[in-house]
Amino acid sequence: MTHHKECIIAARKYYTAKLAAHGPTPRGVDWNSEESQSLRFVQLLKIADEADSFSLIDYGCGYGGLVSFLQRHKRNFFYTGFDVAEAMVETARALYGHYPYCAFTTNPSELCPADYVVSSGALNVKLDIDDKAWGEYVLYMLENFNELSTKGFAFNLLSRYSDPALRRDDLFYADPLDMFDHCKRRFSRLVALLHDYPLYEFTILVRK
């Protein structure tokens, strides 16, 4: 469990610095553009495509960008944003906290199960933590997503199918086939692997 705490501390430090540098923008949560951020949201929200209304935990919510995406697409939702970076949650509350269907927290004990959990990019930045320890942390987080969701969860990870010459040492690249197999065996027989969109990553949907 100690290295899990180290992973969380590393993520908190990294994203707090990104927000300070770029503000509540896609670059403030380490995405290159609004277009790529939106494309990730489209993939993740396929988990709730058939739901007229739903509750959602955005795990690693950043400044709450998913809220405005859901609003633009006129979805009927209740949203809980969780992030380990206090500065992120403070910013998200300032932007969206006035909506009655939005709540934000940095305290995982305050999270109640929701229909769905989604996590965009929260499992990518390992900094100087070795791949084995970070991989164990990822599997630990998937257990949390499973426990916090009643209908399913979705997450994305950088892919080992990406160009090795373009990879960064501070990022974690996962084997999508291993992740699919793990989710299929561990969580549900209803699992989808999405690797057909033009980013160096994949999304997995786990339906219950």
- What are the average pLDDT values for consecutive 10-residue runs of the chain, which has 208 residues? 62 63 59 80 96 97 94 97 92 95 96 97 91 95 98 98 91 97 98 96 98
* Secondary structure of 33-50 in HEC code, one letter for each residue: CHHHHHHHHHHHHHHHCC
pTM, entire model: 0.91
CB atoms within 10 A of CB 84: 20
CATH number of 2-207, picked from 3.40.30.10, 3.30.1540.20, 3.20.20.70, 3.40.50.150: 3.40.50.150
- Report the pLDDT value the prediction gives residue 96, as an integer from 0 to 100: 96
Q: Where are the domains of the chain?
A: 2-207
Name residues whose C-beta falls within 8 Å of residue 7's C-beta, 6 or more positions apart in sequence.
126, 129, 133, 134, 137
**Extended strands (E) in the chain:** 53-59, 76-82, 102-105, 114-119, 149-159, 173-174, 190-194, 201-207
pLDDT digits over 83-103, tens only?
998 888 999 999 999 999 999
- Report the pLDDT value the prediction gives residue 13, as an integer from 0 to 100: 63
Q: What distance in Å separates the CA atoms of residue 145 and residue 114, rounded to the nearest whole number?
A: 10
- Report the pLDDT value the prediction gives residue 37, as an integer from 0 to 100: 86
- Report the pLDDT value the prediction gives residue 23, as an integer from 0 to 100: 67
